[in-house]
């Protein structure tokens, strides 16, 4: 069939009206094409900007911008340290001690049961400390001497009043398991400076009792197992089976390791895309390198007696946590990216006899933590090391009893709506108190800082943009800060 029937139409004369009508169609088409092209370029730029998956290894990587800190020591005070007994004095608690909270002071109460308890004044005395004049109670006499190095954030808040969900939120940004921990995201983004040591080290209590949520605290979730935390011991061999059963000649050991490496890579080449296999091979290779360096790094016998005393080592109350604080300093000194310390059990969960139980928790950690800050500063490491201190929430300003006659044995229930945490070193302002809770310390009301804001700020100090630190899986761009309302707290950055 020929197209002769179409020729008359094509060859016919175009009227003036038809010409301008068709011309506008062309302009619309050009405009639409231009807009679609701009949108396509924007999407492409956004995908390049956000969605590039990083290599599955621990080699050091460049941050998104110039970092203020290169390593982190996270002091996990699980249980909920009481802000109104440590960093946030409230005169109203003394004025209304033993009374039901006046409505005008508790208008922020989320639950009516939080309001009906008897207000309880702190059994500890507060004083101003340092050039900054920050308030700290006498339960923390050693940390009080270091306030000029800190930013104390009084306006933190969490979204859940129970330990397990609140800890998941603090560690991973979500209230349920399965997501990578903060340390895993950081090592995914930055790798490690030292290829002979793990990038993410966990120093838990030496007893067999794991913290609440167990190993989920340092899990890598859907990230490669390379980025999960490696638990090390503070005494004895840092890892099980670290040393070989018997010694080989150095050249024999080297040849053996080289042969194993070649065999592993041959095995891996036949099984591409198996993330766990790649992680396992890299972990075995690191284990061989660790045999010498990990043992030396965690050998504190090289330290002076003055340093050991600074951390409270060989003192019954402070030895355990003091050893781990010292090891944290030695690890970041050797190039480890993220070190996480846990206290014994839930010793900050002071539901009863708060004067005794809180004082015990402080007594075990106060001197070691102050020693860590002092030691890092003296060695010139505090500028590049970000130290984080805090729990998953704080405590309520009310006594966890119904009778005012028993106030002397009372404790406090969980208080997620406003609590205190602090940062030191690594680019944060020195001697700053940021934000406030209401008159009785129930909820944060000024310069409120959410958990995701805290995460974003930590990443920012390390040179990572929380919106660009993305892991693509199943078509989703996963990130640590899931909420759209996340903000870096620039006011606390020096």
Per-residue pLDDT tens for 372-427? 999 999 999 999 999 999 999 999 999 987 666 578 889 999 999 999 999 999 99
CA 187 to chain centre: 12
Per-residue pLDDT tens for 122-143? 999 999 999 999 999 999 999 9
Query: Cα separation of 406 and 391, whole Å?
Result: 27
Domain-located, residue 383: yes
Residue 86's nearest CA partner among 366, 318, 364, 310 is 366
244: β partners: none
- Which is more confidently placed, 183 or 115? 183
Please, which residues have CB within 8 angstroms of residue 440's CB and are 6 or more apart in sequence?
84, 90, 92, 93, 96, 101, 105, 106, 119, 397
> Is beta strand 436-437 parallel, antiparallel or unpaired with respect to 444-446?
antiparallel
Domain-located, residue 413: yes
Q: What b-and-e string marks burial along 200-227, b requiring 16 or more CB atoms within 10 Å of the CB?
A: bbbbbbeeeeebbbeebbbbbbebbbbb
Which pLDDT band holds residue 11 (cuts at 50, 70, 90)? very low
Four-residue CA torsion sign, 236, 241, 247, 249: negative
What does the angle CA 471 – CA 45 – CA 464 come to, to the nearest 5 degrees? 45
378 phi, psi to nearest 5 deg: -65, -30
Cβ neighbour number for residue 42 with a 10 Å cutoff: 10
Domain-located, residue 192: yes
| Segment (H or E) for 445 | strand 444-446
Domain-located, residue 133: yes
Domain-located, residue 2: no
Domain-located, residue 38: no
Residue 227's CATH number? 3.40.720.10
Question: Distances in Å between the alpha carbon of 154 and those of 26, 287, 448?
Answer: 61, 42, 8
Per-residue pLDDT tens for 260-302? 777 767 776 777 766 666 666 666 666 666 666 777 888 899 8
Query: Cα separation of 99 and 120, whole Å?
Result: 8
The model's pTM: 0.83
Q: Which residue has the tokens 């399965």?
A: 178
Question: Distances in Å between the alpha carbon of 21 and those of 7, 17, 24, 221?
Answer: 21, 6, 5, 59
DSSP strands (E only) in 171-268: 200-203, 230-231
Q: Which residue has the tokens 């990572």?
A: 464
Please, which residues have CB within 8 angstroms of residue 275's CB and are 6 or more apart in sequence?
56, 224, 225
Domain-located, residue 24: no
State what percent of residues in the chain have pLDDT above 70: 77
Give me the domain span that covers residue 400: 57-238+298-492
Which pLDDT band holds residue 207 (cuts at 50, 70, 90)? confident
Residue 158's nearest CA partner among 434, 489, 418, 433 is 418
Domain-located, residue 372: yes
Residue 72's nearest CA partner among 457, 348, 416, 393 is 457
Asked if residues 190 and 60 have their Cβ atoms less than 8 Å apart, the reply is yes
* Number of independent structural domains in the chain: 1
């Amino acid at each position: 069939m020929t197209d002769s029937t179409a020729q008359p139409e094509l060859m016919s004369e175009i009227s003036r009206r038809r010409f301008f009508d068709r011309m506008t169609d062309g302009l619309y088409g050009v405009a639409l094409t231009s807009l679609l092209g701009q949108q396509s370029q924007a999407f492409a730029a956004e995908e390049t900007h956000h969605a590039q998956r990083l290599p599955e290894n621990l080699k050091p990587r460049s941050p998104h911008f110039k970092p203020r800190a290169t390593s982190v020591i996270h002091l996990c005070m699980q249980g909920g340290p009481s802000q109104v007994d440590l960093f946030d004095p409230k005169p109203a608690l003394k004025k209304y001690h033993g009374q039901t909270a006046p409505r005008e002071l508790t208008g922020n109460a989320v639950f009516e049961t939080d309001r009906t308890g008897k207000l309880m004044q702190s059994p500890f005395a507060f004083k101003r400390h340092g050039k900054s004049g920050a308030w700290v109670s006498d339960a923390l006499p050693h940390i009080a001497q270091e306030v000029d190095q800190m930013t104390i954030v009084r306006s933190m808040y969490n979204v859940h009043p129970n330990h397990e969900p609140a800890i998941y939120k603090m560690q991973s940004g979500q209230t349920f398991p399965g997501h990578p921990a903060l340390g895993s995201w950081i090592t995914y983004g930055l790798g490690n400076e030292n290829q002979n040591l793990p990038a993410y080290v966990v120093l838990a209590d030496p007893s067999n009792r794991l913290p609440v949520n167990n190993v989920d605290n340092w899990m890598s979730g859907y990230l490669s197992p390379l980025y999960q935390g490696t638990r090390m011991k503070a005494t004895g061999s840092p890892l099980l089976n670290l040393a070989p059963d018997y010694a080989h000649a150095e050249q024999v050991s080297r040849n053996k390791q080289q042969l194993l490496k070649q065999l592993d890579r041959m095995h891996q080449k036949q099984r591409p895309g198996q993330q766990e296999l790649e992680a396992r091979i890299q972990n075995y290779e690191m284990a061989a390198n660790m045999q010498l360096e990990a043992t030396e790094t965690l050998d504190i016998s090289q330290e002076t007696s003055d340093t050991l005393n600074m951390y409270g080592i060989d003192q019954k109350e402070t030895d355990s946590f003091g050893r781990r604080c010292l090891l944290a300093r030695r690890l970041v000194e050797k190039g480890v990216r993220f070190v996480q310390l846990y206290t014994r059990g839930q010793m900050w969960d002071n539901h009863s006899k708060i004067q005794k139980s809180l004082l015990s928790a402080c007594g075990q950690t106060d001197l070691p933590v102050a020693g860590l800050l002092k030691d890092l500063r003296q060695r010139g490491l505090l500028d590049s090391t970000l130290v984080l201190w805090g729990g998953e929430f704080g405590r309520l300003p009310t006594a966890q009893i119904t009778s005012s006659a028993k106030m002397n044995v009372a404790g406090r229930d969980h208080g997620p709506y406003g609590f205190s945490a602090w940062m030191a070193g690594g680019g944060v302002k020195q001697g700053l108190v940021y934000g406030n809770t209401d008159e009785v310390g129930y909820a944060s009301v000024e310069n409120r800082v959410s958990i995701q804001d805290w995460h974003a700020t930590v990443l920012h100090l390390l040179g990572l943009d929380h919106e660009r630190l993305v892991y693509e899986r199943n078509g989703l761009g996963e990130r640590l800060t899931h909420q759209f309302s996340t903000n870096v707290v620039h006011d606390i950055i020096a």
